[in-house]
Structure formats: structure tokens, C-alpha cells
């Protein structure tokens, strides 16, 4: 009986260790994914602002002038 309790404790410790490892890997993956998405959105916004600036600085020729 004593040996069985020791085995259960060892197995539960291994499961807890593996569980923490999986959770930490998932958190790292999630953090990297969110960071990539944030940088993508930042780059997209900067490109949009740059396009807007170019449009106002260099108006197109199809506008009529009076």
C-alpha cells in the first residue's frame, strides 16, 4: 500500500510537471502570436498613414481645377 501511494505521488508529480510545461509552451506560443499580430497591425496602420500622406501631398491629375 505504501508503495502504491509513492507511485501515485510520482505519477501526479510527472503529470503536473508536464502540464506546466505544456501550459508555458502554449503561453509562449500565444505571446509570440499576439506580438506578431500586433506588429502586423502596426505595420498596416503605418502603411495606411503613409498612403494617406502621399495622396494629400501629391494630388491625382483627374481632379479638375477652375
| Residue 61 in this model has a pLDDT that exceeds 70 | no
Number of domains in the chain: 1
Per the structure, the complete domain to which residue 36 belongs is given by 25-55
Round the CA-based radius of gyration of the chain to a whole number and report it.
28
Give the model's pLDDT for residue 50. 74
Q: Specify if 60 maps to a domain.
A: no
Q: Which three cell numbers stand for residue 54?
A: 502621399
Residue 64, in any domain of the structure:
no
Higher pLDDT, 57 or 49: 49
Q: pTM for the complete prediction?
A: 0.36
On whether residue 11 sits in a domain, the answer given is: no
Confidence at residue 13, expressed as pLDDT on a 0 to 100 scale: 73
Task: Give per-residue pLDDT as tens, 16-56.
Answer: 777 777 777 777 777 777 777 777 777 777 777 777 766 66
Assigned domain for 19 exists: no
The b/e string for 25-62 (b: 16+ C-beta within 10 A; e otherwise) is: eeeeeeeeeeeeeeeeeeeeeeeeeeeeeeeeeeeeee
Amino acid at each position: 500500500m505504501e508503495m502504491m501511494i509513492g507511485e501515485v505521488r510520482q505519477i501526479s508529480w510527472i503529470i503536473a510537471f508536464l502540464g506546466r510545461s505544456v501550459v508555458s509552451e502554449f503561453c509562449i506560443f500565444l505571446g509570440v502570436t499576439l506580438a506578431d499580430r500586433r506588429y502586423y497591425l502596426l505595420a498596416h496602420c503605418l502603411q495606411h498613414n503613409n498612403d494617406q500622406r502621399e495622396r494629400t501631398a501629391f494630388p491625382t491629375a483627374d481632379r479638375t481645377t477652375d
